[in-house]
Structure 1
Amino acid sequence: MLLIDHYAYNNKLAGVHPGEKFLFFAVTVALCLALPTTFTTLVVTLLMAGAVVFAAGVPWRFYLKLLLLPGAFLAVGVAAVAVSVTRAPQDFIWAIHTGQYFAGITRQGLDNSVNLFLRSLGAVSCLYFLSLTTPMTEIADVLRKMRMPTLVIELMTLIYRFIFILLEVTRQIYTAQSSRLGYKNTRTGFNSLSRLILSMFIKSYRQSQAMYDSLVSRCYSGDLHHLSEPRQWCARNILLIVTVDSALLLCSLYAGGLV
């Protein structure tokens, strides 16, 4: 079991109605994307970090490692936004001249890249809150009640399940290769890695077919049903969500509005 899935089932907010957590996620991520100010994105990121670490009880080291993964990817992506290439010289903060072209960083490009990075990181933190506090079955149940197309829910659920199959097959093959000194040096490591990738997809395909056959043998007709624990909506939690998001909206409008 992935640690993300482990904490989704074992956290302090596991007993909270999934609709309440989904509502908090949806409203907050909407504010983060609709009010793309530095203040809003920073507050959303810190708010979700506090909700995950303090309210849900997820270890902060693990949460920080999760944020570093998309953070590194976003840093590389926004670097292309910050750099401008042109023939005419502009008000560059830093630039290099190569032939007829100038490549450098302008103030506007730097502001756009920082804004994009913070907004994306804020949206990712909202998604982490939902995935670390709510199991996939409960998310699918909420989407089903929202009249989400059944095909979308089925694909999401099956893909999520196949991730575990893929990781388990990869772990088994890697352990078998390591026990035979398959990664003792760079040359054998690359050779073993290529074989691992090939075997991984072949065995994953076979296991996915076996999983589908088991579903069909249990009268699967394109609709997966999950047992959900009945929970009651809590008026106090709803009031807390409305209060927090309303305060965030008012402070964001005061800090910079929609620009």
Structure 2
Amino acid sequence: MFKIDQYAYTSSLRHVHPGEKFAFAMLTMSICLAASSVLVPALVTCLTAAAIILVARVPARFYFRLLLLPLGFLVAGLLAITLTISREPDPAVCGFAIRGITLGVTIPGLYHAALLFTKSLGAVSCLYFLSLTTPMVEIISVLRRLKVPALLIELMGLVYRFIFVIMETAGRMYISQTSRCGYAGLKASYRSLAQLVSNLFVKSCYRSQALFTALLARGYTGEIRMWEDPRPVSRKNLALIALVDFILLVLVLVSWRWPV
């Protein structure tokens, strides 16, 4: 089991109705993406971090390590937005010229990059809040109540299950190779890694087919029904969610009129 799943099952918000957490994450993420200033996404990032660390009791070190994962993709994408290349001198560009080509940045470009960065980080933090406080089976249950097509829900469940199948298969193969000194040197490591990757697909396909056969043997008809633990909806939590999202929405509307 992944660490994310462990914290989802052991967090302090585990017994809160999953619909409340799903509504908070989706509404807050939508408001964050609709913002036209860096203030609201920054507030969303701080708010969700406080909810995850202080309320759900997820270790801060683990959460910030999770935030480091998308930073590489964000930085690589923002470089293409921030940098400006021009063949003619432009006083708005702060940079340097190489053989008649001006390479630099502009103030609007920097602001646009900062806005995209904070929006992306805020949206990711909302999804982390949902995944670190709500098990996957409960998320699927909420999607089923929202009348999401059954095919999409089944694909989500099967893909989620096959991730563990692939990880378990890769772990066993790695242990087997290590016990035979497959990673004793650099050359042997590359050779063992190539064999692991090539054989992993074949073994994973075989195990997935065996899993599907087991489902058919147990009466699988295209939909996996799971036990849903009934939980009451808290009016207090709904009021708090409505208040927080209303304040964020007001800030978004103000930022549309007076960008910050």
Matches within 5 A, 1:244-259: 244-255=244-255, 257=257
Between the aligned partners of 2:171 and 2:100, the Cα distance in structure 1 is: 52
Of 7-16 and 84-93, more deviation after overlay is shown by: 84-93
Report matched runs for 1:1-12 at 5 Å.
1-12=1-12
Q: Distance in 1 between matches of 2:208 and 2:95?
A: 52
1:92 equivalent in structure 2: 93
TM-score, structure 1 as length reference: 0.95
> Aligned residues: percent identity?
43
Secondary structure of the structure 2 residue equivalent to 1:103:
strand
- Tell me which residue corresponds to 1:70: 70
The one-letter amino acid of 2:104's match is G
* 1:85 CA displacement: 2.1
Written as runs of structure 1 = structure 2, the 5 A alignment for 1:35-74 is 35-74=35-74
Corresponding residue SS for 2:183 = coil
CA distance in structure 2 between the partners assigned to 1:223 and 1:59 by the alignment: 36
After TM superposition, give the deviation of residue 151 of structure 1 in Å.
0.7
Quick one: distance in 1 between partners of 2:131 and 2:32?
A: 18
Per-residue CA deviations over 1:44-100 (Å, capped at 9, x if unaligned) read 001111111111111111101100001122112211111122222222222342x45
Equivalent position of 2:157 in the other structure: 157
Query: Which deviates more from structure 2 when the two are superposed, residues 51-60 or residues 243-252?
Result: 243-252
Cα distance change of structure 1 residues 103 and 186 upon mapping to structure 2, 3 Å threshold:
farther
Query: Structure 1: how far apart are the matches of 2:223 and 2:96?
Result: 57
Q: Partners in 1 of 2:222 and 2:58 — Cα distance?
A: 35
Displacement, 1:256? Answer: 5.3
Within 1, Cα distance between the matches of 2:25 and 2:93?
A: 39
Structure 1: where are the runs of 5+ without partners?
none
Distance in structure 1 (CA, Å) of the matches to 2:95 and 2:186: 39
Q: Quick check: 1:35–1:258 contact (8 Å CA) kept in 2?
A: no
- Asked if structure 2 preserves the Cα contact closer than 8 Å seen for 1:35 and 1:257, the reply is no
> Does the Cα contact within 8 Å between 1:37 and 1:257 map onto a contact in 2?
no
In structure 2, the residue corresponding to 1:181 is in which secondary structure? coil
Q: Distance in 2 between matches of 1:70 and 1:217?
A: 41
3-state SS of the aligned residue for 1:84? strand
Could you tell me how far 1:174 is from its partner in structure 2? Answer: 1.5
**Residues 35 and 255, structure 2, Cα contact 8 Å, conserved in 1:** no
* 1:1-259 mapped onto 2 (5 Å cutoff): 1-90=1-90, 91-97=92-98, 99-255=99-255, 257=257
CA–CA distance in structure 2, aligned partners of residues 157 and 69 of structure 1: 24
* Cα contact 2:162–2:208 (8 A) shared by 1: yes
TM-score, length of structure 2 as denominator length: 0.94
Work out whether residues 182 and 192 of structure 2, in 8 Å CA contact, stay in contact via their aligned partners in 1: yes
Q: Single out whichever of 201-210 and 101-110 deviates more from structure 2.
A: 101-110
What whole-Å deviation, never above 9, does each CA across 1:151-200 have from its counterpart, x for those lacking one? Answer: 11111111111111111111111222222222233222211111111111
Amino acid aligned to 2:28: T
- The number of residues matched between the two structures is 258
Query: Residue type matched to 1:129 in 2?
Result: F
Task: Name which of structure 1's ranges 140-149 and 75-84 shifts more when overlaid on structure 2.
Answer: 75-84
Greater alpha carbon shift after TM alignment, 11-20 vs 76-85? 76-85
Which structure 2 residue ranges, 5 or more long, are not aligned?
none
**In the alignment, residue 149 of structure 2 is paired with which amino acid?**
P
**Cα distance in 1 between the residues matched to 2:148 and 2:238:** 23
The aligned amino acid for 2:254 is Y
The alignment's C-alpha RMSD in Å is: 1.5
Q: Is the 8 A contact 1:36 1:258 kept in 2?
A: no
Specify the SS of the correspondent of 1:102: strand
